[in-house]
Structure 1
């Protein structure tokens, strides 16, 4: 009989883990959101869409390149070759070349995750509120204390704070303590393309903002519906995390307009998203790619283990899966 495994979180890490383990175990993914995504999620309304988390990803490891190969072949993943610049309040803009391929999923970042989830058992809109041990099984309960299932293994690919809250501290607490996460704000703007600068994306220095992208110019998007994604720096977000959110939005709009030269009157929609746990601090320790207590049959993985890049989520899960396959 195959072992049963519950994976909490259906972002890139959770889906990678499920794909690697499914041939050898009965795997169920639990995702509290209505759709797949995590930091690769997409926000939409009647007229626009914004990839308000990860804007792109690179592929540096052979394992990640292997995962992406069929998705590049079928058009799910496309190389992005933007006109990118560098902005700062006190210096002239200058062109910023990229020296390695950068990719996006099309027509939205979460499309890659939807493709990866094919043939996997994913329970959406299902919040795991408690993980408890009963005899030789792990029981998962929802917010109403209803039983979601009993499993041999439980693995969290959720963001670090949720992982800490769910998995028993007496079994993983000391190991999880070496990781940390930082916040970020995403400002989502609707602006007619004719009112935007010629560059497609900008790295920003010495400002509350660190990144600006004309999201609608990414491959596969609706170029007629001008959509801008603005990311704050983590330092600025930390300093203003509990400020009035309308005031935060206005400050970021003012900074965006000053940097880009866009007239504020050209903005037809503006939304703010607060990512409390967006960016991961580097962990300068050996064997930090994942967290595992094999005797307790508990584990955790995610981009927060390796610094926060999209590929880091894959690498953390893929390396954990390789170790787990020897345990099953």
Structure 2
């Protein structure tokens, strides 16, 4: 009988882990509280326009992530992005090549989700061990199981709650620090921004501004702008009304870029409550071969998408090794 494994979290780390497990012959079920998969590899539609409101681009340093990026580009799921710098040069100032998903960042995780069962829109409340393995209990008091092993790939604070009394796994997560990040999606009917595609660290409020519509595979009329607020400002306004946040962020963008008076046709703010990693775990993953439960995420190694992929892949290998 094929062994079953559960992965909680359908972001890049969770799905990278799921692929390793599936390739090892396990039957894999992935649980995701959101309606769509990808985590911060996110693409959201506002009317006819799409916005990458989470991760803005990818870079690759490790051999295994470089290999995956090559797979994505060769199959049309990703492409090189060369935004214009202040000098007008395409790709100017890039220390490493930037890659984006096509036609949106959510395409980055699509190949990882093949051949695994995904329970989208299901928030996991707790995991319970029985004689036959682990059962996963949802908020609606339904359960699925038993599973031979469980991988938890959600932000560290949420992972701690799910781990409960598994102190050997839960306690180290206390040293992880994460910050919120407000994202603002803006649709303009005409090109309004200066002749530059990305702006970074513009003020104490604004950390990132990008002309989203310049990414490969995007088709839009007018201009689609994506803004990320600074961690400090996002913390101060974490509980604020999103509509108020949207107005304040756009006013700041208009000020720092000296834009002409213009009213966006659409404007929506979204809060990533655990959007940035301030202090990482310092280990690729944590796994208990005794309990057959492990944790993974970008926060294990740093704050990059590559860290999430490498962490999830490493946890998947550890789980497979423990089940042999």
Q: TM-score range by the shorter chain?
A: over 0.9
SS at match of 1:169: coil
- Give the C-alpha shift of residue 66 in structure 1: 1.0
1:241 maps to 238
3-state secondary structure, aligned to 1:265: coil
Alignment partner of 1:228 is 2:221: no
Q: Which residue of 1 aligns with 2:11?
A: 11
2:226 is paired with a residue of what secondary structure?
Answer: strand
The corresponding residue for 1:200 is 197
Q: How does 1:87-236 map to 2 (within 5 A)?
A: 97-171=93-167, 172-236=169-233
- Asked if structure 2 preserves the Cα contact closer than 8 Å seen for 1:216 and 1:228, the reply is yes
Distance (Å, rounded) in 2 between the aligned partners of 1:264 and 1:50: 23
1:61 aligned onto 2:68: no
Query: How many residue pairs end up in the alignment?
Result: 318
Q: Relative to structure 2, which stretch is displaced further, 198-207 or 63-72?
A: 198-207
1:92 matched residue in structure 2: none
Provide structure 1 residue ranges, at least 5 long, that are not aligned to the other structure.
Answer: 87-94
TM-score, structure 2 normalization: 0.92
Is 1:275–2:276 an aligned residue pair? no
The Cα shift of 1:284 comes to 6.8
Task: Please say if residues 41 and 54 of structure 2, whose CA atoms lie closer than 8 Å, have aligned partners that are also in contact.
Answer: yes
TM-superposed CA distance for 1:85, in Å, is 4.0
Question: Tell me, what secondary structure is at the counterpart of 2:256?
Answer: helix
Partners of 1:85 and 1:203 within 8 A in 2: no
Shift in Å, 1:206: 3.5
Where does structure 2 lack aligned partners over 5 or more consecutive residues?
none
Instruction: Summarize deviations over 1:26-80 as a string: whole Å, max 9, x none.
Output: 2111112221120011110322211100010101111101112221112211000
Cα distance, 1:283 vs structure 2? 2.7
Query: Could you say what secondary structure the match of 2:287 adopts?
Result: strand
Q: 2:320 aligns with which of 317, 321, 325?
A: 325
| Alignment match, 1:312 | 307
CA distance in 1: counterparts of 2:238 and 2:210, whole angstroms: 22
Query: Following the alignment from structure 1 to structure 2, what is the Cα–Cα distance between the partners of residues 130 and 56?
Result: 33
Superposition deviation, residue 193 in structure 1: 4.0
Whole-angstrom distance in 1 between the partners of 2:191 and 2:225: 13
Q: How many Å apart are 1:175 and its aligned residue?
A: 1.9
Between the aligned partners of 2:92 and 2:165, the Cα distance in structure 1 is 45
**Is 1:31 the equivalent of 2:44?**
no
Runs of 4+ with >6 A deviation: none
Normalising by the residue count of structure 1, what TM-score does the alignment of the two structures yield? 0.91
Q: Residues 147 and 322 from structure 1, CA distance in 2 versus in 1: closer, same or farther, beyond 3 angstroms?
A: closer
1:186 touches 1:274 (CA, 8 Å); kept in 2?
A: yes
In structure 2, C-alpha distance between the alignment counterparts of 1:194 and 1:32, rounded to whole Å = 36
Q: Is the 8 A contact 2:181 2:275 kept in 1?
A: yes
Q: 1:104-141 CA deviation, whole Å, 9 max, x = no partner?
A: 00001001212321222222222212211122411111
Q: Using the TM superposition, name which of 168-177 and 153-162 deviates more.
A: 168-177
Distance 1:257 1:133, change over 3 A: same
Distance 1:31 1:44, change over 3 A: same
Cα root mean square deviation, aligned: 1.9
Contact 2:173 2:281 in 1 (8 A): no
